[in-house]
Amino acid sequence: MEWFGLNRTKANLKRKIDWSSRLPKHIAIMMDGNGRWAKRRGFPRSAGHYAGMQTMRQTISMCNDNGIESLTLYAFSTENWKRPKDEVDYIISLVNEFVQDTNVRELNKNNIKVFFIGDISKFPEETQEAMCKVVDQTEENTGLKVYFAMNYGGKSDIIQSVISILKTKKGEEITEEEFEQFLYTVQNPNPDLLIRTSGEKRLSNFLLWQSAHTELWFTDEMWPDFNELLLYQSILDFQIRKKRA
């Protein structure tokens, strides 16, 4: 009965969305709450990250199936290195799992193109190599573009951009558009909709420059519980706000 009700709500929401136009082209997500999700269940934090990884895969599929062009996922921030070493190692092991050949075949089957933004040089060498390999192996795909923000911080993004500008354009005037050419997000700068789970309502150093005009959407659900219903709700709210604007 509960399942039937949920499906009906999902179908109702889906019907209200304008799928032909006004879809957010680029969605960015702060996947927050893995640790709290696990704690509430008496599990170790790693179980929350494992569940979060499954939700991440489902969300990629949902965005691909629903015609979203780009998805940026805050997977590892510059601040996350301060976490206990075993937790950092576990998250890196999940990244290694994601870039395995079997998963890359799945990405190719679904025509998904992968990118990484951030300073990935801090990750173990084999992880960096696997990251570069998955970017190469999915390069020809024309469907959803997924940008994983790894060792990413909005402030360090702006600083690395300024450093590059000083090297190449010292003393020259620079426009906002030119500045964006030096950011990690150069290929796909500005999200239309930014979603954060877990009830926190902060940007936490994510896409600081890029989210200047982005619609922000928050849910109290922890990341492992994010689902299609919430994705539809965020898209519908985005369209309602855009209509008013």
CB of 242 to ligand FPP, least distance (A): 28
Q: Is 34 one of the annotated active-site residues of the chain? A: no
- By CB under 6 A, what part of segment 52-71 binds ligand FPP? 52-53, 56
CB of 120 to ligand FPP, least distance (A): 11
Residues 17, 44, 61, 80: which binds ligand FPP (CB under 6 A)? 80
65 contacts 232 by C-beta, under 8 angstroms: no
- Cα distances (Å, whole numbers) of residue 80 to 65, 119, 151, 161: 31, 13, 8, 22
∠ Cα 27 239 234 (to 5°): 50
Nearer to ligand FPP by Cβ, of 152 and 217: the residue is 152
Nearer to ligand FPP by Cβ, of 116 and 217: the residue is 116
Sheet containing 145-152: give its strands across.
113-117, 145-152, 70-77, 26-30, 193-196, 215-218
Pattern 131-150, binding to ligand FPP, x per CB under 6 A?
-----------------x--
Give the residues across from 72 on adjacent strands: 28, 147
Amino acid at 229: L
HSE-CB for 98 with a 13 A CA cutoff: 27
Q: Is 65 one of the annotated active-site residues of the chain? A: no
Q: Which residues of 21-38 are buried (b: 16+ CB within 10 A; e: fewer)?
A: eebbebbbbbbbbbbbbb
Residues 26, 29, 32, 64: which binds ligand FPP (CB under 6 A)? 32
| Active-site residue, selected from the candidate residues 7, 18, 32, 227 | 32
Amino acid at 15: R
DSSP three-state, residue 83: coil
Residues 23, 60, 95, 120: which binds ligand FPP (CB under 6 A)? 95
Nearer to ligand FPP by Cβ, of 34 and 72: the residue is 34
Compute how many other C-beta atoms are within 10 angstroms of the C-beta atom of residue 43. 14
Among the residue ranges 94-102, 121-129, 138-146, 156-164, the one whose residues contact ligand FPP (CB under 6 A): 94-102
Pattern 96-125, binding to ligand FPP, x per CB under 6 A?
--x---------------------------
Check residue 192 for interaction with ligand FPP (CB under 6 A). Answer: no
Nearer to ligand FPP by Cβ, of 102 and 168: the residue is 102
Query: By the criterion CB under 6 A, which residues form the site for ligand FPP?
Result: 31-36, 49, 52-53, 56, 75, 80, 91, 94-95, 98, 148, 198
